[in-house]
């Protein structure tokens, strides 16, 4: 299996620099490939500028590029490209930023790049995504935490892994909040989607997929949910290859 994926729960921990905690992992992930220029998909970054979407995407590109330059890489954003599908087909690596998953998926379908990205990643180019960018590596966006601010053509996503990710997974609700817990929301999903596994990916953790294997890396365990089964915790370093089967 050629796929090389870095699926990151969150970009920034409280009180830290943007993309601070995963920087070493990103560098370790990309360095062996020899890639220097990475195509960036900013479509989840809706509200980064009051001037509009294009301006928000500009801000997002600059923010991510500032980090990647410190690591020795260059980011160039797909929203500047005249032909989005051609840009994907020519890319040496792809990074998908976080933000609103519904808007990300909406534009990925509208621009025709969902299939193009899947094909390129299955051919072996590196793919990394954080938050919404990790969500879209899954079969669908159905386990996102985001508000549906726009209706995509389909909820179907890249299907690069056979399970769902819930990024920013929280074990409990904030004090004084009477709504459902994240676990209850995932259990609702499983009642309707009984044959799929959900990974609750806590902040400061990521999943690294390469050579047909998957590894949990970071500071915390993850929680795995299946229909009518008790959730199971897995710590970094534990064998979790069953998720790819």
199, 165 contact by CB (below 8 A): yes
Burial 169-189 (b: 16+ CB within 10 A, else e): beeeeeeeeeeeebbeebbeb
For residue 17, the Cα-to-chain-centroid distance in whole angstroms is: 19
Known active-site residue 239: no
Largest CA distance in the chain: 50
Catalytic residue among 56, 58, 77, 146: 146
Known active-site residue 154: no
> What is the distance between the alpha carbons of residues 161 and 182, in angstroms, rounded to a whole number?
21
Q: Which helix (H) or strand (E) holds 104?
A: helix 101-110
Catalytic residue among 11, 56, 131, 140: 131
Known active-site residue 115: no
Nearest-5° Cα angle at 217, 186 to 6: 80
Catalytic residue among 27, 109, 168, 215: 168
186, 164 contact by CB (below 8 A): no
10, 205 contact by CB (below 8 A): no
Active site residues: 131, 146, 168
């Amino acid at each position: 299996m050629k796929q090389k994926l870095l699926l990151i729960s969150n970009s920034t921990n409280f009180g830290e620099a943007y993309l601070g905690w995963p920087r070493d992992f990103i560098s370790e992930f990309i360095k062996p490939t020899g890639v220097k220029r990475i195509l960036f998909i900013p479509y989840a970054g809706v509200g980064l500028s009051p001037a509009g979407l294009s301006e928000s995407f500009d801000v997002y590109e600059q923010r991510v590029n500032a980090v990647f330059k410190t690591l020795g890489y260059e980011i160039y954003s797909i929203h500047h490209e005249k032909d989005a599908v051609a840009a994907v087909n020519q890319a040496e690596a792809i990074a998908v930023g976080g933000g609103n998953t519904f808007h990300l998926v909406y534009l990925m379908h509208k621009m025709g790049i969902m299939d193009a990205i899947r094909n390129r990643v299955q051919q072996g180019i590196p793919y990394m995504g954080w938050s919404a960018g990790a969500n879209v590596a899954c079969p669908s966006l159905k386990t996102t935490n985001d508000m549906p601010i726009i209706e995509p053509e389909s909820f179907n996503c890249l299907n690069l892994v056979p399970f769902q990710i819930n990024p920013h997974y929280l074990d409990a609700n904030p004090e004084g909040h009477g709504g459902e817990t994240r676990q209850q929301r995932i259990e609702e999903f499983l009642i309707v989607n009984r044959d799929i596994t959900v990974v609750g990916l806590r902040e400061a953790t990521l999943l690294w997929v390469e050579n047909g294997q998957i590894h949990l890396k970071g500071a915390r365990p993850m929680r795995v949910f299946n229909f009518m089964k008790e959730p199971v915790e897995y710590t970094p370093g534990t064998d979790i290859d069953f998720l790819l089967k």
